[in-house]
Amino acid sequence: MRAAVIGVGNIGTLHAKILSDSGLLCGVCDIDEKRLSAYKDLPCYTDYKAMIDELRPDAVHICTPHYLHAEMVVYALDRGVNVLCEKPLCISYEQLDLVLETEKRSSARLGVCLQNRYNRENVFAKKYLSGKNIVSASAQVAWHRTAEYYATGEWRGKKATEGGGVLINQALHTLDLLQYLCGMPEKIAASVSDLTLKECIEVEDTAVIVSRAGAPVTFFATNGAAADMPVEITVVTDRDTVKIMPGAVYVNGVPQDIGEERYKPLGKACYGSGHGALIADYYGRLESGEPFPINGEAGSGSVRLILAAYKSGGETVNV
Ligand SMILES: NC(=O)c1ccc[n+]([C@@H]2O[C@H](COP(=O)([O-])OP(=O)(O)OC[C@H]3O[C@@H](n4cnc5c(N)ncnc54)[C@H](O)[C@@H]3O)[C@@H](O)[C@H]2O)c1
């Protein structure tokens, strides 16, 4: 297997390191040539199409700003190149249709990097909750993002390039987990606002989502907290209350044995340690021919929830 990375910023650097450590990395691409200087021993490109056409890697990892994901996924899949795309899969309904249609007709495999599904607490919770009757669930993401954070990338904080704010960036993993563990709400009502970052972003820093039919979930997210708080998910079944936090699961207040961490956390604390596990699983399945569980359809659940939340304006809408 030979793999290439498109976009070697914060997270692309981490993908490149994991691939390089496993002997898979065959090339990198970034429009910012300074970012390529760390990869002098490899073929480097500033044009992702040229990289795909010339290097013909078995897979590309898409680690670019949100608005570029769909066009890059489509270009690679249409050329039979497997894709592991960072979240979000895309930022609009039009892009979603295009990506899913392309995945359907392509011989190549699309995977979406929702690495928190591989965290031991979420692996435990998925198994524990399987087959149980879920009465309600709630989750909260309260993080701290500043003007300095938004200044680290031209694309951040803008509807056209990030696609939204706290929901589509920081909170997406938790929305993905909510619907992975508890099912998809069929209808939601949501409200989004910018309470603390008006001077530097044009998207929401705070959001509330309440399901109105289907899976009974409520969700709160903000980038306006004074510090990063641990993400919390609480699921109430007809028998018990399951609280899921980073590195821990409590059932009716009792800590559960969720096993040891198998992978080292890499990069910022909020990335967790799931990238190593997800990437190993993705390549294991490419080699064995088994389907990768987080394909386009699985990766689109959180995007559908988020797009519905943006559409809602406080009214009940279909997801
Ligand atoms: N899974 C996670 O936990 C996680 C964590 C962080 C970021 N991400 C996702 O990864 C993506 C990138 O985020 P980031 O924080 O690394 O951003 P970043 O701005 O640090 O990096 C993006 C890189 O893409 C490059 N780029 C821009 N346009 C390009 C183009 N046309 N061709 C090639 N390269 C191009 C930029 O020069 C930059 O180096 C986003 O989708 C983000 O949501 C996921």
Q: Establish if 291 belongs to a structural domain.
A: no
Task: Give me the mean pLDDT over the 82-111 stretch.
Answer: 98
- Indicate if 43 and 155 belong to the same structural domain: no
pLDDT for 261:
82
- Helices vs. strands in the chain: H and E counts, helices first: 10, 15
- Indicate if 95 and 121 belong to the same structural domain: no
Q: 154 Cβ partners below 8 Å, 6+ apart?
A: 161
Task: Give me the mean pLDDT over the 81-86 stretch.
Answer: 98
Query: At which of 113, 139, 161 does a domain end?
Result: 113
Q: The domain that contains 201 carries what CATH number?
A: 3.30.360.10
24 to 9, 90, 217: CA distances (angstroms)? 19, 26, 40
Whether 66 lines ligand 1, by a CB cut-off of 6 Å, is: yes
- Indicate if 92 and 194 belong to the same structural domain: no
Whether 294 lines ligand 1, by a CB cut-off of 6 Å, is: no
Please tell me the distance between residue 258's alpha carbon and the centre of ligand 1 in angstroms: 32
Q: Establish if 155 belongs to a structural domain.
A: yes
Q: Establish if 262 belongs to a structural domain.
A: yes
Sign, CA dihedral 250-251-253-257, equals negative
Per residue in 160-212, pLDDT (tens digit) is: 999 999 999 999 999 999 999 999 999 999 999 999 999 999 999 999 999 99
Whether 94 lines ligand 1, by a CB cut-off of 6 Å, is: no
Shortest-distance atom of ligand 1 to CA 66: 41
Query: At which of 96, 113, 130 does a domain end?
Result: 113
Separation of alpha carbons 98 and 316, rounded Å: 26
Whether 271 lines ligand 1, by a CB cut-off of 6 Å, is: yes
Q: What tokens were used for 97?
A: 């249709």
Q: 212 Cβ partners below 8 Å, 6+ apart?
A: 185, 187, 188, 189, 316
Q: To test the ligand 1 pocket, which listed residue (28, 30, 114, 275) has its Cβ within 8 A of the most ligand atoms?
A: 30
Global model pTM greater than 0.95: yes
Does residue 272 surpass a pLDDT of 80?
no
Q: Establish if 285 belongs to a structural domain.
A: no
* Residue 202 structural domain: 117-269+296-318
Whether 27 lines ligand 1, by a CB cut-off of 6 Å, is: no
pLDDT for 268:
73
Q: Establish if 305 belongs to a structural domain.
A: yes
Whole-number average pLDDT of the chain: 96
- Indicate if 12 and 109 belong to the same structural domain: yes
Separation of alpha carbons 235 and 134, rounded Å: 7
For residue 273, count other CB atoms closer than 10 A to its CB. Answer: 21
Whether 273 lines ligand 1, by a CB cut-off of 6 Å, is: no
Q: Whose CA is nearest to atom 2 of ligand 1?
A: 271
pLDDT for 276:
93
pLDDT for 12:
98
Separation of alpha carbons 131 and 134, rounded Å: 9
pLDDT for 278:
96
Q: Establish if 15 belongs to a structural domain.
A: yes
- Indicate if 44 and 144 belong to the same structural domain: no
Please tell me the distance between residue 68's alpha carbon and the centre of ligand 1 in angstroms: 9
pLDDT for 171:
98
Whether 35 lines ligand 1, by a CB cut-off of 6 Å, is: yes
Q: Would strands 316-318 and 254-255 be described as parallel, antiparallel, or unpaired? A: unpaired
pLDDT for 318:
98
- Indicate if 212 and 247 belong to the same structural domain: yes
Task: Give me the mean pLDDT over the 229-250 stretch.
Answer: 97
Q: Is residue 90 within 8 Å of residue 70, measured between CB atoms? A: yes
- Which backbone phi and psi does 77 adopt, to 5 degrees? -60, -40
Does residue 70 surpass a pLDDT of 80?
yes
Whether 45 lines ligand 1, by a CB cut-off of 6 Å, is: no
pLDDT for 273:
75
- Indicate if 138 and 92 belong to the same structural domain: no
Provide the domain count of the chain.
2
- Indicate if 121 and 109 belong to the same structural domain: no
Among 242, 226, 243, 219, which residue's Cα sits nearest to residue 141? 219
Task: Give me the mean pLDDT over the 48-77 stretch.
Answer: 98
Does residue 46 surpass a pLDDT of 80?
yes
- Indicate if 175 and 138 belong to the same structural domain: yes
Per residue in 244-269, pLDDT (tens digit) is: 999 999 999 999 999 988 777 677 77
Task: Give me the mean pLDDT over the 12-26 stretch.
Answer: 97
For residue 132, count other CB atoms closer than 10 A to its CB. Answer: 13
Task: Give me the mean pLDDT over the 115-126 stretch.
Answer: 97
- Indicate if 46 and 166 belong to the same structural domain: no
Please tell me the distance between residue 11's alpha carbon and the centre of ligand 1 in angstroms: 6
Q: Establish if 289 belongs to a structural domain.
A: no
pLDDT for 63:
98
Query: At which of 71, 96, 113 does a domain end?
Result: 113
Q: Establish if 242 belongs to a structural domain.
A: yes
Please tell me the distance between residue 311's alpha carbon and the centre of ligand 1 in angstroms: 26
pLDDT for 264:
73
- Indicate if 308 and 160 belong to the same structural domain: yes
Q: Is 22 exposed, middle or buried (0-12, 13-18, 19+ CB in 10 A)?
A: middle
Whether 29 lines ligand 1, by a CB cut-off of 6 Å, is: yes
- Indicate if 196 and 304 belong to the same structural domain: yes
Q: What tokens were used for 120?
A: 């031991």
pLDDT for 309:
98
Q: The domain that contains 52 carries what CATH number?
A: 3.40.50.720
pLDDT for 107:
96
Please tell me the distance between residue 40's alpha carbon and the centre of ligand 1 in angstroms: 20
Task: Give me the mean pLDDT over the 20-45 stretch.
Answer: 97
Please tell me the distance between residue 65's alpha carbon and the centre of ligand 1 in angstroms: 5
